[in-house]
């Protein structure tokens, strides 16, 4: 792809004006400076195209970043041709990655892009374009390469309170204390007489030594809950709100995982379910949120019910919305009426302000989540 | 000062200044540029926006006012405003948009030179332009990109420069001239500036530095005096142009009847010197040209036009009658050419005495011509003559002066003897240029002579001006410049649609001839094609096969150099007792140097950084980098000592 730059457009206009002047002044000598300008265009066209076609890029393998972070690994740019390539720009859909002054024949350079990735998303390396403006900056010649790998930019998550959970089950490491005792766990509860089958290592020797027979340690039962996130993938049509929503979703899910909850996630556009066990590193969540694309017309009753069928019946339901409509309010009210724990997370500006009868309503913004009712 | 943009601005200043005659303004503009650049480099001054706009207005108004002076022109007055505006901006550093504007402004001022500097002085301007515009564009674009040791910005490339120059010439030669050279007559007739000659007849009266400029170039054999216009009425003090309507002949021979007639081609470089007349050296029978309207051959054998204007191709051709018939005068017109105020008895007595014994009018005229030639002196800037009777004062008392006085006196004496006469003004062609065979006619070649009419013979010219005792030889360099001027005018300035068509036609003819030759000698084109194919194959393989090897060699060389310089650094430091532990990386070692009394630490840091960039980052090493590293090592060693 070869295009005129802004400087090129301006100077082409100047050349045209000079041509008009040459007609009015009847001076053919004015064709000389016009010729110089056009010569610059011609040389620029050839050099830039050659440079853009000849350069090779070796990006690092897949990179994972959070919003606001920069890449840490270098990209290698080589010039295997016999001509100098100059004024090179490597550009990704997220912005300019690299600017290189020049590369002599056979030379290469490894540079770390300084670009900060401000938005979540997946930026495939094959979409990166290498442009050259060499040597006059009048014409930009660019070419895409079939490069492997991608840069995955996760939403920037922040500290927040975990969502409401329900359907607590026994789970080693669960952060919630149950009413029963267990022979294993992290919270020491007391001792009981040993029974056949108790492991020897659980014997509480101190109390056993007091002569009341073999005593075994007992622990508080550890429970973990379940939370199902139903996420609207852009019904509001505002990309920024979708990004805020993705940040809120990521933050809530990580808070839930830290609490030891099971997390289920469904986006209302694809209705694909993602199950993340407690204490997982959450990579799948971030990856899924990074790849989430805006899809309108997904916040409908049929899709909400379809999503609900796919999640555990015991789960609390957290509705992450980019906008609020009648369908979702009815859906939430029905769930609440059935005794399900329901939380609604909506953008600050569009969140329902009135009470929703047993439904917790939260507002989210770019930087945090706060309770509304 | 080394910035290409600043140099281009300087060129714009000079080009703009050339719109005025003389060298004062170009020199003043150069001085202005120098001062502003110096100030801008040492102590930048930020003028407010209104001040820069005021400079633009001030320069424009100044351009208009000074343009009213003699020999100056108020045209392009805005350009002078731009000069001051640009000077104001030289006082500070500019952002990218302002720099682009400066580039455009300088280009506009170059356009002024394209319009006013039509002679060979344009050649150096063109060459510098073709160098500076690409260089400036490269400089502007380079500011967007980092100039690091690993990937230095490319330098000025002569191959690219040659390519720009080639495209420029190709564009000039091939761009259709349709609208550039058509002869659009002006809406109004231009002034009859025939009297412009008057100031050049006596160079001491203000023809000034432009007198040596070529104004005409003529090609033809046996050139005679070039008549421009005639003065026929004498009021006792001055000769004036024809006051009678006279006879005009506007019918010329058709092309088929011109064959074999004496032929002249004239290129006019300075149209303004001609007024509305075309110089010719005889009775013309045909005329061709596209920069004048309604040409007429007057009774006095010069060509008068309704209007003359400037085009890209001010060329006219004319054909002469080799044996013109003697012209009749007619009774009324003959009488008018004898009119003169009554002269003093003293002058009449002198004339009768001088011509005593000579009966034939033609012999009397020849005698008078010889009398002037033998007894008078040519002198420029001679003292002013008696205001009431200048001709008598000249003949009887002063006896020195320039051509106008001799022509005037001769014509008056002929009339006093009853011979119809007139004063002709025009040019005397010199010798053909040794290089081009074209005859250059300069303003200094302007001349006046007298012509008398004799029954049965017609008009006979008499040049009574004695030969000047001045050095009229032209130095060889001047001849060379004149030749260059002709080549420039013939091939460039006058390159119009016709010339372009001729170029294409001859190009096609060369191609056709080459094709015919190639058919008859197939071995030669075959060999050339084979060589070309080999060259292209080699060139394409260079990029794919040879370069990786070359790149590997270059990398090896860089590593060796890097290790060499870093090793040298370690040796110098070791002599001072600062040793690097084997486990330390160069950067770790550098970090430990801070508190160990290391000499010239910034230089050590520079060498280490460069070593890391070359050894681990495959950075290139330019000659400049190399000199810098060696200088840094030298400083470290000296600090060590």
Q: In the structure encoding, which two tokens stand for residue A76, read together?
A: 């290698």
Backbone angles phi, psi at A369, to 5 degrees: -125, 140
Q: Given a cut of 80, is residue B412 above it in pLDDT?
A: yes
Contact B157 A135 (CB under 8 A): yes
Query: What digits encode the pLDDT tens for the residues A288-310?
Result: 999 998 888 888 889 999 999 99
- Report the distance separating Cα A327 and Cα B404, nearest Å: 109
Report the residue of chain A nearest B76, measured CA to CA.
A25
Cβ of A53 under 8 Å from any chain B Cβ? Answer: no
Could you give the percent of chain B with pLDDT greater than 70? 88
- Report the distance separating Cα B154 and Cα A134, nearest Å: 9
pLDDT at B575: 86
Give the count of Cβ contacts less than 8 A between chain A and B: 199
Cβ of A37 under 8 Å from any chain B Cβ? Answer: yes
Q: Given a cut of 70, is residue B208 above it in pLDDT?
A: no
Q: What is the pTM of this model?
A: 0.68
Please compute, for residue A144, the number of CA atoms within 13 A of its CA located in the half-sphere on the CB side: 9
Q: In the structure encoding, which two tokens stand for residue B95, read together?
A: 């952002």
Q: Given a cut of 50, is residue B203 above it in pLDDT?
A: no
ipTM field: 0.75
Residue A203 has what DSSP assignment? Answer: B
Helix (H, G, I), strand (E, B) or coil at A75: strand
Nearest of B145, B158, B150 to residue B625 by alpha carbon? B150
Cβ of A39 under 8 Å from any chain B Cβ? Answer: yes
How would residue B126 be classed by pLDDT, with cut points 50, 70 and 90? Answer: very high
Residue B117 has what DSSP assignment? Answer: -
What are the Cα distances from residue B418, in Å, to B91, B117, B365, B463?
Answer: 74, 50, 11, 19
- Report the distance separating Cα B149 and Cα B561, nearest Å: 15
Nearest of A173, A181, A223, A222 to residue A202 by alpha carbon? A181
Q: In the structure encoding, which two tokens stand for residue B354, read together?
A: 């001088």
Angle, CA A211 vertex, CA A209 and CA A216 arms, to 5°:
65
DSSP letter string over B414-441? HHHTT--EEEEEEE---PBPTTT-PEEE
Q: In the structure encoding, which two tokens stand for residue A156, read together?
A: 């920037």
Residue B386 has what DSSP assignment? Answer: P
Minimum distance, in Å, between the CA of residue B162 and any CA atom of chain A: 10
Query: What digits encode the pLDDT tens for the residues A53-112?
Result: 989 898 888 889 999 999 888 888 988 888 888 899 998 888 888 999 888 888 888 888
Strands (E) in A134-272, as ranges, are 139-144, 150-154, 166-170, 176-182, 188-193, 215-231, 262-267
Q: Are strands B446-454 and B421-427 parallel, antiparallel or unpaired?
A: antiparallel
- Please state the rounded mean pLDDT for residues B626-631: 89
Q: Given a cut of 60, is residue B185 above it in pLDDT?
A: no
Helix (H, G, I), strand (E, B) or coil at B531: helix
Instruction: Decide which of B55 and B312 is more confident.
Output: B55
Cβ of B125 under 8 Å from any chain A Cβ? Answer: no
DSSP letter string over B298-363? ETTS-EE-SEE---S--EEEEEE-SSPPPPP--HHHHHHTT--PPPPHHHHHHHHHHTTT---HHH
pLDDT at B130: 93
- Report the distance separating Cα B577 and Cα B195, nearest Å: 92
**Cβ neighbours of B178 (radius 10 Å):** 11
Cβ of A75 under 8 Å from any chain B Cβ? Answer: no
A212-240: buried (b, 16+ CB within 10 Å) or exposed (e) per residue?
Answer: eeebbbbbbbbbbbbbbbbbbbbbbebee
Cβ of B194 under 8 Å from any chain A Cβ? Answer: no
- Which among A25, A33, A133 is the nearest to B129, CB-wise? A33
C-alpha dihedral, A201 to A207 to A211 to A212, nearest 10°: -90
- Please state the rounded mean pLDDT for residues B308-334: 80
**Cβ neighbours of B141 (radius 10 Å):** 22
Query: What digits encode the pLDDT tens for the residues B217-265?
Result: 898 888 888 988 888 888 888 888 876 665 666 778 888 888 889 999 9
Q: Given a cut of 80, is residue B540 above it in pLDDT?
A: no
Cβ of A285 under 8 Å from any chain B Cβ? Answer: no
Contact A42 B619 (CB under 8 A): no
CA B63 to mean position of chain CA atoms = 22
Q: In the structure encoding, which two tokens stand for residue B150, read together?
A: 């690993």
Check the CA dihedral A290-A294-A295-A301 and report its sign. positive
Q: In the structure encoding, which two tokens stand for residue B555, read together?
A: 């990398």
**Cβ neighbours of B637 (radius 10 Å):** 18
Contacts with A30 from chain B: Cβ below 8 Å: 111, 114-115
Query: What digits encode the pLDDT tens for the residues A151-169?
Result: 999 999 999 998 988 888 8
Q: Are strands A360-364 and A342-347 parallel, antiparallel or unpaired?
A: parallel
Q: Which H or E element spans position A66?
A: strand A63-66
Q: Given a cut of 50, is residue B196 above it in pLDDT?
A: no
Contact B115 A86 (CB under 8 A): no
Cβ of B150 under 8 Å from any chain A Cβ? Answer: yes
Please compute, for residue B57, the number of CA atoms within 13 A of its CA located in the half-sphere on the CB side: 6
Contact B547 A106 (CB under 8 A): yes
Best mutation target among B5, B130, B160 (most A Cβ atoms within 10 Å) is B160
Helix (H, G, I), strand (E, B) or coil at A109: strand
pLDDT at B558: 80
Query: What digits encode the pLDDT tens for the residues A245-283?
Result: 999 999 999 999 888 888 999 998 888 899 988 878 888
- Report the distance separating Cα A184 and Cα A77, nearest Å: 57
Q: Do residues B284 and B296 lie in contact, with contact meaning Cβ atoms separated by under 8 Å?
A: no
Q: Do residues B214 and B269 lie in contact, with contact meaning Cβ atoms separated by under 8 Å?
A: yes
- Report the distance separating Cα B396 and Cα B215, nearest Å: 36
Average pLDDT score, chain A = 88
Minimum distance, in Å, between the CA of residue A87 and any CA atom of chain B: 6
pLDDT at B198: 45
Query: What digits encode the pLDDT tens for the residues B343-352?
Result: 888 888 888 8
Contact A102 B179 (CB under 8 A): no
Contact A7 B130 (CB under 8 A): no
Contact B141 A136 (CB under 8 A): yes
Helix (H, G, I), strand (E, B) or coil at A230: strand
Contacts with B129 from chain A: Cβ below 8 Å: 32-33, 36
Helix (H, G, I), strand (E, B) or coil at B593: coil
């Amino acid at each position: 792809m070869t295009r005129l730059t802004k400087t090129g457009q301006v100077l082409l206009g100047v050349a045209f004006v000079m041509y008009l002047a040459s007609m009015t002044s009847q001076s053919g000598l004015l064709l000389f400076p016009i010729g110089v300008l056009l010569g610059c265009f011609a040389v620029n066209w050839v050099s830039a195209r050659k440079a853009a076609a000849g350069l090779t890029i070796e990006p690092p393998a897949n990179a994972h970043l959070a919003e606001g972070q920069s890449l840490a690994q270098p990209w290698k740019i080589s010039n295997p041709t016999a001509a100098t390539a100059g004024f090179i720009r490597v550009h990704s859909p997220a912005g300019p990655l690299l600017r290189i002054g020049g590369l002599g024949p056979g030379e290469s350079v490894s540079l770390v892009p300084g670009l900060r990735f401000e938005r979540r998303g997946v930026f495939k390396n094959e979409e990166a374009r290498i442009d050259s403006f060499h040597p006059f900056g009048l014409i930009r010649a660019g070419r895409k390469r079939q490069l492997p790998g991608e840069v995955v930019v996760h939403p920037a998550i922040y500290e927040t309170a975990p969502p409401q959970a329900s359907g607590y089950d026994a789970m080693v490491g669960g952060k919630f204390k149950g009413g029963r005792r267990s022979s294993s766990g992290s919270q020491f509860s007391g001792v009981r007489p040993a029974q056949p089958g108790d492991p020897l290592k659980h014997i509480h020797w101190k109390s056993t030594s007091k002569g009341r027979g073999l005593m075994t340690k007992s622990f508080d039962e550890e429970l973990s809950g379940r939370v199902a996130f139903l996420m609207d993938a852009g019904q509001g049509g505002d990309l920024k709100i979708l990004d805020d929503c993705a940040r809120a979703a990521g933050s809530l899910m990580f808070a839930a995982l830290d609490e030891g909850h099971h997390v289920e996630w469904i986006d209302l556009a694809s209705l694909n379910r993602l199950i993340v066990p407690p204490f997982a590193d959450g990579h799948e969540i971030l990856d899924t949120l990074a790849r989430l694309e805006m899809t309108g017309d997904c916040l409908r009753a049929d899709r909400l019910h379809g999503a609900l069928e796919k999640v555990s019946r015991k789960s609390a339901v957290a509705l992450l919305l980019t906008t609020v409509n009648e369908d979702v309010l009815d859906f939430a009210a029905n769930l609440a009426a059935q005794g399900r724990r329901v939380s609604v997370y909506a953008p600050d500006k569009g969140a329902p302000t009135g009470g929703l009868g047993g439904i917790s309503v939260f507002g989210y913004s770019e930087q945090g989540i706060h309770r509304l009712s | 000062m080394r910035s290409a943009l600043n140099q281009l601005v300087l060129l714009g200043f000079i080009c703009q200044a050339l719109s005025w005659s003389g060298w004062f303004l170009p020199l003043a503009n150069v001085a202005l540029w120098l001062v502003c650049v110096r100030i801008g480099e040492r102590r930048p001054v930020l003028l407010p926006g209104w001040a820069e706009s005021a400079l633009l207005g001030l320069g424009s108004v100044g351009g208009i006012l000074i343009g009213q002076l003699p020999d100056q022109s108020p045209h392009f007055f805005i350009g002078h405003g731009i000069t001051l505006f640009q000077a104001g901006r030289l006082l500070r550093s500019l952002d990218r948009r302002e720099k682009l504007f400066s580039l455009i402004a300088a280009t506009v001022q170059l356009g002024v030179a394209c319009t006013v500097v039509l002679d060979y002085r344009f050649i150096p301007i063109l060459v510098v332009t073709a160098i500076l515009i690409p260089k400036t564009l490269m400089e502007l674009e380079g500011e967007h990109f980092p100039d690091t040791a690993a990937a230095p910005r490319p330098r000025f490339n002569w191959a690219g420069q040659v390519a720009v120059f080639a495209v420029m010439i190709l564009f000039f030669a091939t761009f259709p001239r349709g609208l550039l050279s058509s002869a659009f007559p002006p809406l109004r007739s231009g002034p009859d500036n025939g009297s412009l000659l008057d100031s050049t007849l006596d160079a001491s009266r203000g023809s000034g530095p432009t007198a040596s400029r070529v104004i005409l170039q003529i090609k033809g054999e046996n050139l005679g005096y070039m008549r421009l216009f005639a003065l026929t009425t004498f009021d006792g003090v001055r000769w004036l142009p024809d006051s009678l309507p006279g006879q005009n002949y506007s019918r010329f021979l058709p092309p088929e009847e011109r064959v074999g007639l004496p032929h002249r081609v004239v290129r006019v470089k300075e149209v303004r010197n001609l007024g509305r007349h075309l110089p010719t050296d005889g009775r013309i029978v045909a005329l061709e040209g596209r920069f004048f309207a309604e040409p007429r051959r007057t009774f006095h054998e010069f060509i008068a036009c309704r209007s003359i204007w400037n085009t890209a191709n001010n060329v006219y051709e004319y054909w002469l009658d080799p044996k013109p018939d003697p012209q009749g005068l007619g009774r009324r017109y003959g009488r008018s050419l004898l009119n003169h105020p009554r002269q003093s008895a003293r002058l009449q007595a002198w004339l009768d005495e001088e011509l005593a014994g000579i009966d034939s009018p033609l012999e009397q005229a020849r005698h008078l011509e010889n009398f002037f030639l033998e007894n008078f002196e040519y002198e420029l800037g001679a003292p002013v003559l008696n205001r009431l009777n200048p001709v008598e004062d000249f003949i009887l008392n002063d006896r020195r002066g320039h051509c106008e006085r001799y022509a005037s006196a001769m014509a008056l004496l002929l009339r006093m003897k009853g011979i119809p006469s007139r004063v002709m003004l025009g040019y005397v062609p010199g010798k053909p240029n040794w290089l081009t065979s074209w005859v250059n006619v300069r303003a200094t070649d302007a001349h006046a002579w007298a012509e008398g009419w004799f029954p049965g013979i017609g008009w006979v010219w008499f040049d009574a001006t004695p030969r000047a005792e001045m050095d009229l030889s032209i130095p060889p360099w001047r001849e060379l410049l004149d030749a260059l001027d002709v080549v420039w005018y013939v091939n460039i300035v006058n390159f119009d649609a016709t010339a372009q068509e001729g170029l294409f036609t001859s190009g096609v003819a060369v191609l056709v001839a080459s094709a015919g030759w190639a058919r008859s000698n197939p071995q030669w084109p075959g060999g050339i094609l084979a060589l070309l194919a080999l060259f292209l194959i080699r060139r394409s393989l260079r990029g794919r096969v040879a370069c990786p090897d070359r790149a590997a060699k270059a990398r090896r060389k860089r590593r060796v150099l890097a290790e060499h310089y870093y090793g040298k650094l370690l040796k110098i430091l070791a002599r001072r007792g600062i040793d690097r532990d084997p486990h330390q990386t160069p950067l770790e070692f550098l970090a430990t140097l801070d508190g160990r009394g290391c000499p010239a630490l910034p230089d050590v840091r520079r060498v280490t950084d460069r070593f890391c960039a070359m050894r681990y980052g495959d950075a290139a090493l330019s000659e400049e980098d190399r000199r810098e590293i060696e200088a840094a090592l030298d400083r470290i060693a000296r600090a060590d000592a």
